[in-house]
A and B are shown apart, each in its own frame.
Chain A
């Protein structure tokens, strides 16, 4: 068990560019979550997958944000036409099949800076 991994760890981009982040969950976990954390705040839920199905996406911040998990393993989070307000830490978490009875285990995050 190597834990949840996220790549890249840091991303600096210019406003208007597209960025994509990758998350590899714990191998036996079928649930995957994305959160965003801004400075001095707690994480904020964005979206959730069970296997390859995206079961909750109403909290994605705008239509510039999208996420995929095509084979039910790794996931990607894409932000199109980035804005300075998108600068934040993007966290991925995974959990097992028992929903909230299985705690969510978090990766180290991808820190995005939009110039």
Chain B
């Protein structure tokens, strides 16, 4: 069975600083990997996805993520954080042999200091 771990429950960064959110997954085959963002009272918005090809993927809002098979990781990065990036971020792994279900990590809450 697949699983996702997001080791950091809370992260606080200063506006303009760089950001890296960690995600580790467990899945026996080549994973489908996703990052979603959830703002208070809002639904989940897809930031980016990976399923094959270039291991560095670009997403919306200036985010990128790098797939590292050897480390079973898919960390999310942004070079310069804006106050509007404050939200909860979820990493997810998809399993095509399990009803296309997404398994989500517990999330990382990002706070941005002015």
Q: How far is the CB of A91 from chain B (nearest CB, A)?
A: 7
A106 at the interface (CB under 8 A from B): yes
> Which residues of chain A are near B106, meaning CB under 8 Å?
40-42
B100 touching A100, Cβ below 8 Å? yes
Which residues of B are at the interface with A, using a C-beta cutoff of 8 A? 4, 32, 34, 36, 42-46, 49, 51, 90, 92, 94-96, 98-107
Number of A-B contacts (CB under 8 A): 64
Contact A45/B103 with A100-B51, A103-B46 known, Cβ cut-off 8 Å: yes
B34 touching A103, Cβ below 8 Å? yes
Q: List 9 A-B contacts (CB under 8 A).
A: A33-B101, A41-B107, A42-B4, A42-B105, A45-B103, A55-B99, A56-B101, A100-B51, A106-B36
Contact A48/B43 with A41-B106, A42-B92, A103-B34 known, Cβ cut-off 8 Å: no
> Which residues of chain B are near A55, meaning CB under 8 Å?
99
> Which residues of chain A are near B101, meaning CB under 8 Å?
33, 45, 48, 56, 59
> Which residues of chain A are near B49, meaning CB under 8 Å?
103
A25 at the interface (CB under 8 A from B): no
Residue in A closest to B52 when the chains form the complex, CB atoms: A101
B104 touching A43, Cβ below 8 Å? yes
> Which residues of chain B are near A99, meaning CB under 8 Å?
96, 100
Among A4, A45, A95, A99, max chain B CB count under 10 A is at A45
Chain A 1-37 near chain B by CB (<8 Å), digits 1 or 0: 0001000000000000000000000000001010100
Chain A, range 20-77, C-beta contacts under 8 Å to B: 31, 33, 35, 40-45, 48, 55-56, 59
A56 touching B105, Cβ below 8 Å? no
Residue in B closest to A95 when the chains form the complex, CB atoms: B100
> Which residues of chain A are near B102, meaning CB under 8 Å?
33, 35, 43, 45, 104
